[in-house]
Amino acid sequence: MTERLFDGNMMEKEIEEKKRNLKENYREIRENIAAAAKASGRKPEDITLLAATKTVPAEVINYGISLGIDYLGENKVQEFLSKYDEYDKKRCHLQFIGHLQTNKVKQIVGKVELIQSVDSVKLAREIAKCSQRLGIVTNVLVEVNIGGEENKSGVKPEEAKALLREISQIQGILVKGLMAIPPICEKNSEIRRYFAAMRKLFIDIRGENIDNITMDILSMGMSSDYMEAIEEGATMVRVGSSLFGARSYPVK
């Protein structure tokens, strides 16, 4: 089924329904996060819930912010820019979580607190160059292709340390951790295996004590598997459809 793209013209009735559902969904997800955190020996506040807001209108997003959803992640540069001026930016933290082309880096550097999808030295250098022009340091995560899938971006797990060491020498950028999107798995044990592998890589790199690298964030887990991700060590989960409902927003 083709996904209908966000255009900002959702009918008021549908907007209000989305808000009602969001309030209940958010409550349930917070309860699930608390349970998963407890199962992993941590506190709920140790886990950051990042709302994946692809196709979600700014009005619905701002309602979510009023409920306490304060970390937002956008996937597409064009959509992010179309909503940027409407966000309640005083009460939220904006991040970019999608694949980022080097020719679009300058459009988001300075507007987001964290870029989650760095997978090459070339991209890191472009982010750093744009950051230095603005006199800032941009926080990033290195994306790991933990399943070795050809159709996905991300550095190979066995090459992650070498990439991190190279990025650590670049001024204007600071690596704060790792991000991964594991393959779709039919069995719970399979997805847990990928999450566990990411946790091990995360801990191994932290133990290297590489300059300009701080392993604070392990971003993994989405709507279908965020509880398993937390139980396996995630510090941040990216939840979209479980919060906002199916992505079926109208096109102009």
| Burial zone of 7 (CB within 10 Å; 0-12 exposed, 13-18 middle, 19+ buried) | middle
The residue with greater pLDDT, 4 or 131, is 131
Number of domains within the chain? 1
Instruction: Report if residue 198 sits inside a domain.
Output: yes
Least confident span in 28-37, 163-172, 181-190: 181-190
pLDDT of amino acid 224: 93
pLDDT of amino acid 155: 97
| pLDDT (tens digit per residue) in 115-161 | 999 999 999 999 999 999 999 999 999 999 999 998 899 999 999 99
pLDDT of amino acid 250: 44
The residue with greater pLDDT, 178 or 188, is 178
| Burial zone of 6 (CB within 10 Å; 0-12 exposed, 13-18 middle, 19+ buried) | buried
Instruction: Report if residue 21 sits inside a domain.
Output: no
Instruction: Report if residue 148 sits inside a domain.
Output: yes
Q: Is 22 in contact with 64 (CB distance < 8 Å)?
A: yes
| pLDDT (tens digit per residue) in 232-249 | 999 999 999 999 987 654
Amino acid at 139: N
Residue range 34-45: mean pLDDT, rounded:
97
Instruction: Report if residue 17 sits inside a domain.
Output: no
Domain region containing 157: 51-57+72-84+94-240
Share of the chain above pLDDT 70, in %: 94
pLDDT of amino acid 9: 53
pLDDT of amino acid 103: 97
CATH number of residue 221's parent domain: 3.20.20.10
Instruction: Report if residue 80 sits inside a domain.
Output: yes
Instruction: Report if residue 29 sits inside a domain.
Output: no
Instruction: Report if residue 166 sits inside a domain.
Output: yes
pLDDT band at 1 (very low <50, low <70, confident <90, very high): very low
Instruction: Report if residue 136 sits inside a domain.
Output: yes
